[in-house]
Amino acid sequence: AFSADVVPQAPEDPLFGLMAAYRKDTSPDKVDLGIGAYRDNNAKPWVLPVVKQADELLRKDPDLNHEYLPIAGLADFTSASQKLILGKSSPAIADKRVVSLQTISGTGAVHLGALFLSKFYNPSNPEAKAIYASTPTWANHNQIITNVHLPMKNYPYFSKETKGLAFDGMMEALSSAPDGSVILLHACAHNPTGVDPTQDQWKQIAQIMRRKNQFPFFDCAYQGFASGSLETDAWAINHFIEQGFELMIAQSYAKNFGLYGERAGCFHFVAAPSPNAQDEISRVGSQLAILQRSEISNPPAYGARIASLVLNDDALFAQWEEDLRTMSGRIIEMRKALKSKLDEMETPGTWNHITDQIGMFSFTGLNEQQVQKLREKFHIYMTKNGRISMAGLNTKNVEYFAKAVDSVVR
């Protein structure tokens, strides 16, 4: 029944293939710039000191067991997650206009949101059923959205010329998208480009979307990781809420807690201010719970327990903020080091974007041939679109990488 014309061989996940090739490479000089996870200055995974502390506390708890969590997840975790992303004094929280479910990290939150839209989003304009995502976007967006049978469309985002935001193109696309369309936005530290709108640009994006009654779906996978400040990184979302939007948020704790494999995340639906908002929240929440029950039954406990301990304790929270600054600070140092080495060698091209872009990734502007050469000649591994993970650079390999780049662009 499952012949090749029914189930053809799927192409290998490009990132997975890259990691396998890196592992096989025996050169002592090899550099992994593909990985989407933080590495310390010794190129090793880093367990955040605050996560170690929370883990010890958790293990000492004599009442800890392995029972199921509720369908919507750990309540202390979801309520702390609301406060983290919307701010402690958020009017949306005070008005009880938010419903939140714990999810299988950010991926699960994007999926739950997309599934909810595919089932329930019926804009008055049937043309507005597609989800608009940036070009480029996180590769998994496309798969998640098409899996729930929603059409996906795109808006321009990255300018190849400036290696910055294609702001005019983005605004044009939003104004010509049908009224009521769903617009998928990266809250901060855009993956894969590392390019974010300025606050002024976000204001203009919100204005146009408000005029067109469009529906924002924020994917927030790097809060605190971009600028080092949790508030700054959530600014765009809160600006949209202040403007009265109804919106959805997918929140991941993979990167900012280093809890990648533990799959801690949260999905939030925020209703617009209205006398019926609480009724709407109750109805939406009840349907989300049914979707969650059929998809995963209930979410995994360990990562949410760790994050919840930290989010609900002032001293641990302060330690977490310090850990976030350690990670974002090291990445910023690596951006500066790379840029200054390229400047020193007068490497052809402009390299300002290396320090202008933020977050874990940088779109270098290197083309596919140059990426190939870096891999074959220098054992440097990155995705073929020229994206590098800044976390793969450290004080020991940044000069080697800069020299290799210099050699392939000349």
Q: Which helix (H) or strand (E) holds 186?
A: strand 182-186
Secondary structure (DSSP) of 112-141: HHHHHHHHH---SSGGGGSEEEEES--HHH
Crossing angle (nearest 10°) for helices 235-242 and 199-211: 40
Q: Give least dist CB 106 to ligand PLP, A.
A: 3
Per the annotation, the verdict on 202 as an active-site residue is no
Check binding of 226 to ligand PLP (CB under 6 A).
no
Q: Using CB under 6 A, which of 87, 113, 216, 265 touches ligand PLP?
A: 265
Sign of CA dihedral 102, 281, 189, 78: negative
User: How many of the chain's residues bind ligand PLP (CB under 6 A)?
Assistant: 13
Check binding of 107 to ligand PLP (CB under 6 A).
yes
Say how far apart CA 384 and CA 163 lie, in whole Å: 16
Stretch that binds ligand PLP, among 9-17, 56-64, 99-107, 174-182 (CB under 6 A): 99-107
Among residues 32, 129, 138, 341, the one annotated as catalytic is 138
Which of the residues 146 through 205 are near ligand PLP (CB under 6 A)?
186, 191
Stretch that binds ligand PLP, among 55-63, 103-111, 268-276, 340-348 (CB under 6 A): 103-111
Cis peptide leading into residue 136 (ω within 30°): yes
CB environment 68-102: b (16+ within 10 A), e (fewer): ebebbbbeebbbbbbebbbbeebebbeeebbbbbb
Nearer to ligand PLP, 112 or 254 (CB): 254
**DSSP tag of 214:** -
Q: Are 198 and 229 in contact (CB under 8 A)?
A: no
Per the annotation, the verdict on 255 as an active-site residue is yes
Stretch that binds ligand PLP, among 49-57, 101-109, 195-203, 326-334 (CB under 6 A): 101-109
Check binding of 81 to ligand PLP (CB under 6 A).
no
Check binding of 138 to ligand PLP (CB under 6 A).
yes
Check binding of 221 to ligand PLP (CB under 6 A).
yes
Say how far apart CA 134 and CA 186 lie, in whole Å: 9
Check binding of 392 to ligand PLP (CB under 6 A).
no
Q: Which helix (H) or strand (E) holds 109?
A: helix 105-120
Q: Give least dist CB 353 to ligand PLP, A.
A: 19
Which residues are known catalytic residues? 138, 219, 255
In the complex, the residues that contact ligand PLP under the rule CB under 6 A are 36, 105-107, 138, 186, 191, 219, 221, 252, 254, 260, 265
